[in-house]
């Protein structure tokens, strides 16, 4: 329907750390889709090890929606994903802070902004619902909805989801010095993703680098 295949993304990355991170997310997602997730249980010594070390393979900005938990969609254990979840997967202050820590302290090689079908935050704005909840972040979603409307009525909801992911990628890159510098150095890949809930499938929307 749109976007870039996981294979293309992995093979187009010249930085092996970024390619490996994409590959690991993809393999985990394939396990999720094949109904063969890895058993996640933790012995005392494993918990001790995790408590003292973390090397997450990716930082993910996802929606708060109960159906889009990134650790489950990408079949990752504790310590695998550094995440920020906020309605509408917007570039909130907390998402920017999360990325600053993930990129600067933990040298995470990949940032994924993950939108999803049926997002309630986007649905509210498409329906013209007025509220002060969300403050200025609500305007970001409104802006994405506006961009989608410029493309006509067909497939409006799904296009608004895609525009909203792209806008978050733009905002993160613009506002996060850590993200900007790491991309310029070639140390970080910034990707968008689109989760189609009824199929249980995440597709990539390309990178913003």
Residues that bind Zn ion (CB under 5 A): 63, 65, 119
Across the chain, the runs of DSSP E, i.e. the strands, are: 58-62, 81-85, 110-116, 189-196, 201-207
Q: Min. distance of Cβ 116 from Zn ion in angstroms?
A: 6
C-beta closer to Zn ion: residue 114 or 179: 114
In the complex, the smallest distance separating the C-beta of residue 203 from Zn ion, rounded to whole angstroms, is 16
Residue 15 main-chain phi, psi, to 5 deg = -85, 115
The pair of three-digit structure tokens given for residue 146, joined into one six-digit string:
């506006």
Letter string b/e over residues 80-99, b meaning 16 or more CB atoms within 10 A of that residue's CB: bbbbbbbbbbbbbeebbebb
Phi-psi category of 90—alpha, beta or left, where left has phi over 0 and alpha has psi -120 to 50? beta
CA angle 209, 195, 152 (to 5 degrees): 80
Rounded to a whole number of angstroms, the minimum distance from the CB of residue 66 to Zn ion is: 10
The residue behind tokens 């993910």 is 60
| Beta carbon nearer to Zn ion, 71 or 187 | 71
Shorter beta-carbon distance to Zn ion: residue 65 or 163: 65
Q: Quote the least distance from Cβ 121 to Zn ion, whole Å.
A: 5
Of the pair 25, 68, the CB lying nearest Zn ion is at: 68
- Residue with smaller CB distance to Zn ion, 141 or 179: 141
Minimum CB–partner distance for residue 37 and Zn ion (Å) = 22
202 touches 29 (CB < 8 A):
yes
């Amino acid at each position: 329907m749109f976007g870039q295949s996981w294979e293309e993304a992995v093979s187009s990355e010249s930085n092996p750390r970024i390619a490996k991170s994409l590959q690991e997310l993809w393999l985990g997602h394939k396990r999720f889709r094949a109904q063969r997730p890895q058993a996640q249980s933790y012995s005392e010594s494993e918990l001790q090890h995790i408590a003292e070390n973390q090397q997450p393979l990716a930082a993910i900005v996802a929606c708060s929606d109960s159906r889009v938990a990134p650790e489950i969609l990408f079949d990752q254990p504790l310590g695998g994903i550094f995440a920020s979840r906020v309605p509408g997967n917007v570039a909130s202050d907390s998402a920017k802070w999360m990325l600053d820590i993930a990129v600067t302290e933990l040298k995470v090689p990949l940032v994924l902004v993950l939108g999803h079908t049926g997002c309630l935050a986007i649905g509210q704005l498409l329906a013209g619902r007025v509220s002060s909840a969300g403050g200025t972040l609500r305007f970001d979603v409104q802006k994405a909805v506006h961009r989608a409307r410029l493309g006509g009525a067909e497939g409006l909801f799904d296009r608004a989801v895609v525009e909203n992911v792209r806008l978050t990628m733009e905002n993160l890159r613009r506002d996060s010095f850590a993200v900007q510098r790491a991309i310029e150095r070639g140390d970080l890949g910034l990707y968008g993703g689109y989760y189609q809930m009824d199929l249980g499938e995440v597709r990539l929307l390309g990178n913003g680098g």
